[in-house]
């Protein structure tokens, strides 16, 4: 059986765009998660999410793994981008959308290469 930390590492590795949040994108359970997911959805790409309210083990362990104490957390291509304030600021100054679109394009290219193998 894999540990919570291994599960977190696997989620981050397997999902090029991943948000750990309270609630779901359709029904955020906190204002910070709502703002972050709104900025992410405005970028127009698909992304994965983990509801930390449904996963208390991940909620407890992720801040240690990430060295980031709060939720939401946006991860892009294995790197922690940040929480609500950082993501919203990046969206407002035009940095978030290219980051998300580039990650999505690379993931799509990798998937297509994998299909040919």
Residue set of the binding site for glutathione: 22, 59, 71, 84-85
- The phi and psi torsions of 30 (rounded to 5 degrees) equal -155, 155
CA distance linking residue 5 with residue 55, whole number of Å: 12
Q: Which residues are annotated as a binding site?
A: 22, 30, 59, 71, 84-85
CA distance linking residue 82 with residue 61, whole number of Å: 17
Q: Which residues are annotated as a binding site for [2Fe-2S] cluster?
A: 30
Comparing CA positions, the residue from 74, 82, 78, 76 lying closest to residue 50 is: 74
Tokens encoding 100: 């998300």
């Amino acid at each position: 059986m894999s540990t919570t930390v291994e599960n977190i590492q696997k989620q981050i590795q397997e999902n090029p765009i991943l948000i750990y949040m309270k609630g779901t994108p359709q029904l955020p359970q906190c204002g910070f998660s709502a703002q972050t997911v709104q900025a992410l959805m405005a970028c127009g790409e698909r992304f994965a999410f983990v509801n930390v309210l449904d996963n208390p083990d991940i909620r407890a362990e992720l801040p240690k793994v990430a060295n980031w104490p709060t939720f939401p957390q946006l991860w892009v291509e294995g790197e922690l981008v940040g929480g609500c304030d950082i993501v919203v600021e990046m969206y407002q100054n035009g940095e978030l959308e290219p980051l998300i679109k580039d990650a999505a394009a690379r993931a799509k290219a990798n998937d297509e290469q994998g299909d040919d193998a």
